Amino acid sequence: MGSARKGFMHIETDIERVRELAEAKEDQNWRFRTFLKGIDLSVKELDSIAHRHYKDIARQIDCGTCANCCKEVSPKLSEEDVTRLASCLGISPSELTATHLRTNEDEDAYCFRQKPCPFLRNNRCTVYDARPDDCRSFPHLHKDEFVFRLIQVVNNCSVCPIVYNVFERLKEEL
């Protein structure tokens, strides 16, 4: 799916362009998801390929120039996340909850009441060391069992340049 030599594919970092391209390729991305669900590779083999591309692309992109995840994604916060964040802010967990959080749809965790994240300033996290685990892990491409998170991956193609570029590289390679 492309004629670029392996390792020399352009990396798109402009979030508006990523959003446009992901939207234009939405049908293709869903078809590729279906292809990946049936590909003749083990879960570990597909993980290895996805992890390789993730490592290569992530080291070439400065998330601070984008911070779109902090603007568009609603991370889930566990009780531990709430406690850690409240401590960082010097307030009680109940004050943090009352001020900035709501129960998410599944009612098994919290999420921020607003987007963008209330702790984002100039594309930087003001509570970085205390940020929720969901934020620490985003875009989740380092995790195992990539094939079981493909809906999330396709949805995040329009949110995160790293996800978009990894998915494009996977299409090119596979």
Query: In a structure prediction context, what are the per-residue pLDDT tens digits for the chain, which is 174 residues long?
Result: 333 445 557 999 999 999 999 999 999 999 999 999 999 999 999 999 999 999 999 999 999 899 999 999 999 999 999 999 999 999 999 999 999 999 987 778 899 999 999 999 999 999 999 999 999 999 999 999 999 999 999 999 999 999 999 999 999 999
Distances (CA, A) of 132 to 4, 90, 169: 38, 16, 29
- Domain range annotation of the chain: 15-64+139-173, 74-137
Cα–Cα distance for residue pair 22/155, rounded to 1 Å: 9
Cα–Cα distance for residue pair 155/56, rounded to 1 Å: 21
Q: Tell me the helix, strand and coil percentages in the chain, rounded to 5.
A: 55, 5, 35
Could you tell me if 149 and 37 are in contact, meaning their C-beta atoms sit under 8 angstroms apart? no
The strand pairing partners of 124, in sequence order, are: 121
